[in-house]
Amino acid sequence: MSDLTSLSESVLDFEYENGRRYCSTRSGTYMYFQPFCGGCLAGKADQIRMPNDEEEQDRMDLTHHIWLMMLKGELYNAPIGESPQNILDLGTGTGIWAMDIAEKFPSAHVIGNDISPIQPSWVAPNIEFVVEDFESEWQYKRNHFDFIHARCLAGCVADWPQFFRRIFNHVKPGGYFETHESAVWARSDDNSLKENSALMEWQQAVNFAGEKSGRELNVYHKLKNWMIEAGFEDVTLSVYALPFSPWPRDPHLKALGKYQAVQLQQAIDSYSLRLYTQVLGWSSDVAKIHNAVVKQELRDKKLHAYVQTYSSYPP
């Protein structure tokens, strides 16, 4: 068994709002969530925070399943070999990816870090969960990790070039770093997603709030260049389509859309309510009414919306 480490009392002093539980502002950090791909992230207390209750954790696990489907059952794309010994999962959330990779490589030492202590305490002996802010100075050895994994951190990282430089310095020569991100902007090829739709207004509002809070959401198209600037070479980029509902004819995309439809219905409120009220100054009632219209639009079978997701890894 591995216990949570680096744990201060303030981390467990949760806050409650609108019937949801949040990481305490006194911990100096917050939970942040990327709406279209789902993630559990760490950041500063003066930024908006996401719930970390059981409802949110269930959704995080659902998005893990969605990513597994997109990657055809794999946890990663990088050719990391048969026996990586040191693995780091940044913004681990519920720890589900870290636990899966620890099971796949029982000889490896797996670390999953996050600012919120929502990971299981009873885990395999080769996994360790650490409560920490990965934007703070790292305490890990340089050139140490065979594999570093990060998923859905857009909206969390204030300084991406510095973030990638830090990762570059901690991956050992010959090791790999892989990141999975989503564009935070839906599209449709048949114009079924209208410019004046509630969903488009929702996207514009949350993207504006992200920029206003100092943590840009739509960074997917910049990641490759930032990696190269940090020192990574031969960056491989894979692009996937993630439908918002089971509208595609392709069986694989239809199955993806089925799960993503559930995830989005859950994500709309929990992602945007605090952005609306704390960053944009909306009332809670106005935010909830607007979100109800968005969720109704998402249930429209005539809406053929999707988002692009990205998997990048350099050696």
| Tens of pLDDT, residues 139-181 | 999 999 999 999 988 878 889 999 999 999 999 999 999 999 9
Q: What is the pLDDT of residues 175-218, one digit of tens each?
A: 999 999 998 889 999 999 999 999 999 999 988 988 888 888 88
pLDDT at 29: 39
Per-residue pLDDT averaged across 76-90, rounded? 97
Long-range contact list for 15-23, CB < 8 A, 24+ apart?
A: 17/274, 18/273, 18/284, 20/51, 20/53, 20/55, 20/56, 20/270, 21/51, 21/52, 21/53, 22/49, 22/50, 22/51, 22/52, 23/49, 23/52, 23/115, 23/116
Whether the pLDDT of residue 43 is over 90: the answer is: no
Whether the pLDDT of residue 231 is over 70: the answer is: yes
Q: Name the average pLDDT for the chain.
A: 87
Whether the pLDDT of residue 97 is over 70: the answer is: yes
What single DSSP character describes residue 246? S
pLDDT at 292: 97
Structural domains of the chain ordered from first start: 9-313 (3.40.50.150)
Write down the pTM of the prediction: 0.88
pLDDT at 197: 96
241 vs 23, residue with greater confidence:
241
What single DSSP character describes residue 278? I
What single DSSP character describes residue 274? H
